[in-house]
Each structure stands twice: as structure tokens, then as C-alpha cells.
């Protein structure tokens, strides 16, 4: 199984170095020299990391296959994935976005929406779902508000703070 770890951004400099939007908790491991990443929507199938470095909060990566700025530009917006084993995935109680997408959101025994995204933030992750009216709802992805995730049953049980599910409703719906 593959896991998305980054999206390539704009070129940095003239020698082929690129910025990447990091989508992994362990970027130093994923972008260590010699790591091979699978490319989605790019001109080649794999890229090999030669070096990576942080420039403040931006990760800059140099790949063996990208020789100059013009070539780097052809990779803009390409997604990078790694191959993971089932053991690596099940060894933690963390969830990846692809595992949560399209799960039914359950509150008080009733479906109140469907998961559409997981936003990773420095403070805490946000679970994003569309409610039954098609409105987007953001819920902190913490045990207090999301006590149960059951991919086999296709559900995520939530206990949101009072009023959260009513925030987007018009006056006539309340």
C-alpha cells in the first residue's frame, strides 16, 4: 500500500531543488538521502532524494533525477508517495487521510455527515466532513470529540461541542 507524504511546490534556485508541502509526521525519515519516492502526476515514476534541508518552515529537497530549474518546474503539484507495509500502518493508533475519507460521521446514533478531508495543523488535526445539508464542518480530531474510528464498519463516532453542528444552519432550520 502507498501513503502520500508530500506535494512538490515551486523550484528553489537554478539547480533543481524544489519546495515540498510535507504531509507526513516524519519528514526527516521520508526525505533522507537515498529514499525513493513514487511520483503521482509527474514526468517520471520515482525520485531519489540526494539531500533535504529546512529553510525556516519550508522543506527543500534535491532529487537525483531533477537536474535544473526547468525540469523542476515540470514536477510542480506532483504528489509523492512511499510504499508502506501493513505492519507499519497497524503499529500506530494514528489515522491517515485515505483511511478516513468517505466514512460516515455518527452522532447520537444517527448519521450527520461524511468525512471529506483531514487537515493537519501544528496545534492539532481537524476532521472535515460534509453535513447532511452539504455544509463543511471542521472538528478537532482529538479523543474528546472523536472517541471512535471504525473503518471496518465505515463509521466515525463524534461527540462535538454543543452547537457545533448547528453553526452553519440558517435561522429557519434551527
pLDDT of residue 163: 85
Residue whose C-alpha is closest to residue 145's, from 130, 131, 124, 166:
124
pLDDT digits (tens, 9 = 90+) for 84-124: 775 554 445 678 787 899 999 999 999 999 999 988 777 78
Q: Look at strands 79-83 and 148-150 and give their pairing.
A: unpaired
Do 66 and 15 lie in one domain? The reply is yes
> What total of structural domains would you count in the chain?
2
Q: For residue 173, is it within any domain?
A: no
Rounded distance, CA 28 to CA 22, Å? Answer: 10
Beta strands in 12-86 (DSSP E): 18-22, 36-40, 46-55, 58-63, 79-83
What pLDDT, on the 0 to 100 scale, is given for residue 153? 94
Residue 146 belongs to what domain range? 97-165
Report the predicted TM-score, pTM, of the whole model to 2 decimal places: 0.58
List the CATH number of the domain containing 117: 2.30.30.240
Amino acid at each position: 500500500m502507498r501513503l502520500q507524504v508530500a506535494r512538490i511546490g515551486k523550484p528553489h534556485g537554478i539547480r533543481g531543488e524544489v519546495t515540498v508541502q510535507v504531509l507526513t509526521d516524519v519528514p526527516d525519515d521520508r526525505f533522507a538521502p537515498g529514499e525513493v519516492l513514487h511520483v503521482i502526476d509527474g514526468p517520471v515514476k520515482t525520485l531519489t532524494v540526494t539531500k533535504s534541508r529546512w529553510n525556516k518552515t519550508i522543506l527543500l529537497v534535491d532529487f537525483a533525477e531533477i537536474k535544473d530549474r526547468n525540469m523542476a518546474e515540470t514536477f510542480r503539484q506532483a504528489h509523492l508517495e512511499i510504499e508502506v507495509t501493513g505492519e507499519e500502518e497497524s503499529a500506530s493508533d494514528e489515522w491517515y487521510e485515505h483511511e478516513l475519507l468517505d466514512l460516515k460521521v455518527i452522532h447520537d446514533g444517527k448519521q450527520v455527515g461524511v468525512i471529506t478531508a483531514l487537515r493537519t495543523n501544528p496545534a492539532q488535526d481537524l476532521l472535515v466532513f460534509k453535513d447532511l445539508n452539504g455544509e463543511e464542518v471542521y472538528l478537532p480530531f482529538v479523543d474528546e470529540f472523536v472517541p471512535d474510528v471504525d473503518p471496518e464498519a465505515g463509521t466515525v463516532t463524534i461527540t462535538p461541542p454543543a452547537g457545533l453542528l448547528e453553526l452553519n444552519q440558517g435561522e429557519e432550520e434551527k
